[in-house]
Structure 1
Amino acid sequence: MSNAPKTVLAIHDLPGFGRAALSVIVPVLSCLGVQAVALPTAVLSTHTGGLGSPAKLSNPGYGPAALAHYHRLGLRFDCIYSGYLADPTQAKLVEQAFELWPQALKVVDPVLGDSGRLYKGLGAEMVPAMYNLCSKADLITPNVTEAALLLGDPLPGVGSAEQAAEQTARLTRIAPQVVVTGVTGVSGGRCIGCVGAARGGQGYFVKTPLIPRMYHGTGDIFGAVLVGRILQGNVPQAAVQAAAAFVADCIRMTPEGADERLGVWLEAALPKLMTQ
């Protein structure tokens, strides 16, 4: 049916408590009129950011079996969107999905690290595996630390908007569309920015007023809005603007003093997303 909802295969981890990854990606995409098909890379009792050691359910055979089942069913995916991967073999899982649905928009959030270092639990071997996966994507969304890791640049990563623009342009040698998130020090430190670029095209810069609070899961919300808006027909720059604005709305609607480990109060913000 021509008016059927677009469908996204979302390959991310699924934390039970703590608003991050699939627990925020699925409701955001639904509010944007997009069907999300969740393929968990790991099932966790909580996300891994400061809530102790989560219980973990992992079955290495699940992902390939799920892809095979979806392929037998003749499902059509308009987009394949990947995020946190526990090890290099899961990068191969995403590549397999790309091969099974070659017409899908391929979006990779290369989750490797933040604040100038690799995430705990990820080994250095994840960097070349993620680089190889990014080279097969249509759009990648690294933060400033991940941009430096993919480029082999010194950490902690981007130090200025000008450097971010230069690195984003270099990243288009890996993937044809790039959005680098979390660029700080914009407008004298009053704003936070995203830098976008297309291979062979002009770059762009999107900035939003800095709200000095850091919540887990906001990058996943950003990515889900970005994917949903692109599937609605928006050009990447407009989709980035919408995603950045919604994340800022989520932070503003979360009371000051709320436990930042638990993420933004997405539940309060979702109705606003549906009316925009």
Structure 2
Amino acid sequence: MTNAPKTVLAIHDLPGFGRAALSVIVPVLSTLGVQTVALPTAVLSTHTGGLGTPAKLANPGYGPAALEHYHRLGVKFDCIYSGYLADAAQAKLVEQAFELWPRAFKVVDPVLGDGGRLYSGLGADMVPAMYSLCSKADLIVPNVTEAALLLGDPLPGVGSAEQAAAQAARLTRVAPQVVVTGVTGIGGGRYIGCVGAARGGEGYAVKTPLQPRMFHGTGDIFAAVLVGRILRGNVPQAAVQAAAAFVAECIRQTPEGADERLGVWLENALPKLRQE
């Protein structure tokens, strides 16, 4: 069927409460007309950002068995998109998916850290494992801390758009397309931005007015819109602009005083995404 939706295999964790990971990725991609097949790396009662220790359901054998089942069924994935991985073994799971569907567009959000530090619970072996995974991807979407970790640069990361652009360019030695997110210090601190780079091509920058609130899950929303827009035919720079604009819209739709741990009020913003 020529008009059949594109299909994405999304390999991320699934938190029940708190808008992050698969709980926001699936509705965003569906709104953009993309079928999402969710492969949870773990099922959590909440995300891990400030809501206490979540209950966790994990089965190491589930992921490989699910991939083999999809392969036997002849499922075609147009894109494989991975995010938070709990350990180096799960990076091997994503690599297995890449090998089973070699023609899929491969996107890695290398979730390693933020705010100048590695996330708690991740071992030092996650950095080389994520580097190896990124080297097999078509597009990677690190934040400024993760870019520094992948490159072996001093933390906390970059301090300017120019430094971020240089790191994005260096990361094209790892993956052909790179988008570095969370670049601050633009326009005297009035803007937050992303910088993109492509192997053999020119770089670009996208900025949006800085919203003075920090919500969990916005990076997942950004990357999901980016993936969905590219699958709908947008060039990466246009897809980045759309993703940044939608995250800003999500924050605007979230009332002042809302608990930032619970994420943005995505439900209010999704109609805007459909209109676009």
* TM-score normalised according to structure 1 size: 1.00
Match of 1:88 in 2: 88
Match of 1:65 in 2: 65
Deviation at 1:256, TM superposition (A): 0.9
Map 1:223-238 → 2, pairs under 5 A: 223-238=223-238
C-alpha separation in 2, matches of 1:26 and 1:108: 16
Provide the secondary structure at the position in 1 that maps to 2:3: coil
What amino acid does structure 2 have at the position aligned with 1:152? G
C-alpha separation in 1, matches of 2:211 and 2:275: 23
Provide the secondary structure at the position in 2 that maps to 1:194: strand
Provide the secondary structure at the position in 1 that maps to 2:110: coil
Provide the secondary structure at the position in 2 that maps to 1:124: coil
- For structure 2, the residue ranges without an aligned partner over 5 or more in a row are none
Deviation at 1:115, TM superposition (A): 0.1
C-alpha separation in 1, matches of 2:171 and 2:197: 9
C-alpha separation in 2, matches of 1:70 and 1:153: 39
Match of 2:78 in 1: 78
Match of 1:164 in 2: 164
C-alpha separation in 2, matches of 1:139 and 1:253: 29
Match of 1:138 in 2: 138
Displaced runs of 4 or more, over 3 A: none
- For structure 1, the residue ranges without an aligned partner over 5 or more in a row are none
C-alpha separation in 1, matches of 2:254 and 2:245: 15
C-alpha separation in 2, matches of 1:212 and 1:104: 37
Deviation at 1:2, TM superposition (A): 1.0
1:141-182 CA deviation, whole Å, 9 max, x = no partner? 000000000000000001111100100000000000000000
Please tell me whether residue 254 in structure 1 is matched to residue 254 in structure 2.
yes
Please tell me whether residue 216 in structure 1 is matched to residue 187 in structure 2.
no
1:158-208 CA deviation, whole Å, 9 max, x = no partner? 111110010000000000000000000101100000000000110000000
Provide the secondary structure at the position in 1 that maps to 2:165: helix
C-alpha separation in 1, matches of 2:126 and 2:136: 16
What amino acid does structure 2 have at the position aligned with 1:223? A
Provide the secondary structure at the position in 1 that maps to 2:193: strand
* TM-score normalised according to structure 2 size: 1.00
C-alpha separation in 1, matches of 2:27 and 2:167: 32
